[in-house]
A and B are shown apart, each in its own frame.
Chain A
Amino acid sequence: MNEFLQQLINGLSLGAVYALIALGYTMVYGVLRFINFAHGDVFMVGAFAGMYFGRWLKPHLVGWPEWLFAGLILLLVMVACAALGGLVERLAYKPLREKPRLTVLITAIGVSLLLEYTGQLIFGAAPRGFPSLLTSAPIAGLGGLHVSNIQMIVLGVTAALLMCLHYIVMRTRMGLAMRALSLNPTAASLMGVNNSVVISFTFGLGSALAGAGAVFYASLYQAIDPFMGVLPGMKAFVAAVLGGIGSLPGAMVGGLILGVIETLVVGYSQVLGVPPGYRDAVAFVILILILLFKPSGLFGKTLKEKV
């Protein structure tokens, strides 16, 4: 039982990261109906931004309490990622607004490769260490469970970010515009919504969440490299599909479920008879099963195709 709880907590903290990335996929899908392949690489850039911010600012902010410093880094990374996401949208996707979806998809793959290889050029291909923003300490008094404070903070801050997102989408005018746009772009623009601005904002918001996910991921695993975004990006996409693409609660729940399943499969690999090497295949098997049996996902709506 203890072991199960342990795996569950590990899975949830990994799942929180997937959820944060998945939200970006799902929001962009909501407004543009396309999968932003480069999202995982925005995540990667976020991790490197966190590393550099941490290193540069550390000597200047010596007297700051640790949590405030970590919070500042998190905020800076989110702003940097939002800027990058908005820039990518403006330069690469905006000129293709009326083009076929395949063209946009290929462009997204191009952007993804560009970020990866430019990252390799600038940061080098070898994995780098991520500075520890908070001192890692096990939380005592949990029986035999090994839970670090970082895992708990990741879960807590993720919950707070999701609350903020919920507020933005449901209670602000921009959120209203986003929802209108995802319902019907033409009708939204007739009602006075500036679609371009809303799309850019959506990209920025999703990228900021990916940036937060990157800081958490890097704090949990401590090694970052230019290709680190590929797998988490794809798994987060699976999470978005699992929850029903276009649905915000779906992306959160899907991310958590995926993180837990993946951790459990690896943790119980001997019981299940699946070698731990299959870790990265788990997500894809889930994706294929979902698409076969419930393509609309857990919270998604089935859409009829109109001729």
Chain B
Amino acid sequence: MGARSGFLAAVLAAFVISGLFTGHPEAAWPLAQLDDYLLNILILAGINVVLATSLNIVNGHTGQFSLGHAGFMAVGAYGSAALTQINGKACLAALSFLGPCAQGGLFVCALLFGAALAALAGLAVGLPSLRLRGDYLAIVTLGFGEIIRVVFQNTEAVGGARGLTGIPPQTTLGWTWAVAALCIYCVSALVNSTYGRGFLAVRDDEIAAEAMGINPTRYKVTAFVVGAFFAGLAGALYAHLIGYISPEGFTFLKSVDVVVMVILGGMGSTVGVAFAAVGLTVLNELLRQAEQYRMVAFSLLLIVLMITRPQGLLGGMGRFFSRKGGNP
């Protein structure tokens, strides 16, 4: 099964399964109805898969260390909410020619709009900062993430520090996992393409890559923009799941959450990172009772992991899934 047909199958499966399990009582196939809590966790897991695999293309495959993923997520969330909530009525009227599909059409437009804005932000952040490397890049991306957050916090039009309420809750299980499948497909197709070898070359040795005629900055910016695009999608999905967004939800700690997923899953291993994202989402819910110990445990895990197994818990696992046996 080729990657493309695998991807199509995954998207189809996402919609069919979500139709089967979340079907409204009056739907055609009410096979089983999940309760809202479980459903929310499954959707959140999907959003986290998108966040983690998209950060992985920057932090894992290209070997850059970004700590500003929450900033791009915020841009996507606010950008999409600008269409559905702030200008919701006008946009809905503009799409009225779609008839009964107007609501869904607007949702798709909002997702794409938020993601495109995030990609633009990624470009704006990436162009100046990707000339830096290592720890400098980490701090600059962190700084940009904080600036994005401070801007939203001080913009009254999007609710300022109070946040934005009343975003229509349109994110469903199907949409989320379809986007997750799209993200995984895009990232692995990109990295496994001829062009994508450039990312790995930049990661392995920037100077050698440059000597071979690869323009490192271009590859880094590409990775950054793709990563930001999907982070924006994830943010948009998140906004339309919770129905409420505030700058406080997109702090540095949110970025760290995603970084932890990428590191646990193994930087550069798409499969490992996706599994880690699902696993950590579930673990977070299970540990809700022990909230104050959770981050202590995670940070300890991070330190011990770096000392004993820097490739991540699931790192190298991708080899079992990849046909070529090469780098997943």
Contact = CB atoms under 8 A, between A and B. Distances in A.
Contact of A234 (B134, B139, B150, B293): B139
Contacts of A277: 150, 153-154
B292 A120 contact: yes
B124 to A, nearest CB: 11
Contact of A105 (B138, B143, B207, B252): B138
A76 to B, nearest CB: 26
Contacts of A114: 296, 299-300, 303
Contacts, number: 104
A112 B260 CA distance: 13
Contact of A113 (B65, B134, B142, B298): B298
B283 interface: no
Nearest to A112: B299
Nearest to B132: A291
Given A96-B307, A111-B303, A291-B129, A285 B292 contact: no
A129 B303 CA distance: 32
Per DSSP, chain B at the interface is helix
Contacts of B139: 35, 234, 237, 287
A171 interface: no
Interface residues of B, number: 37
Interface string B149-163: 011011000000000
A281 B146 contact: yes
B128 A292 contact: yes
Contacts of B296: 114, 117-118, 121
Given A230-B252, A281-B150, A295-B132, A105 B299 contact: no
Contact of B299 (A100, A110, A291, A295): A110
Interface string A75-119: 000000000000000001001100111111111011111101110
A34 interface: yes
Interface residues of A, number: 45
Contacts of B151: 281
B241 to A, nearest CB: 26
A307 B146 CA distance: 34
B135 A35 contact: yes
Nearest to B154: A277
Interface centre among A118, A121, A234, A284 (most CB of B within 10 A): A284
A234 B296 CA distance: 21
Given A102-B65, A234-B143, A284-B143, 16 more contacts: A95-B307, A99-B306, A101-B135, A106-B259, A107-B306, A109-B259, A111-B303, A113-B302, A117-B292, A121-B292, A121-B293, A280-B146, A281-B146, A281-B151, A284-B146, A291-B136
Interface of A: 34-35, 92, 95-96, 99-107, 109-114, 116-118, 120-121, 230, 234, 237-238, 241, 275, 277-278, 280-281, 283-285, 287-288, 291-292, 295, 305, 307
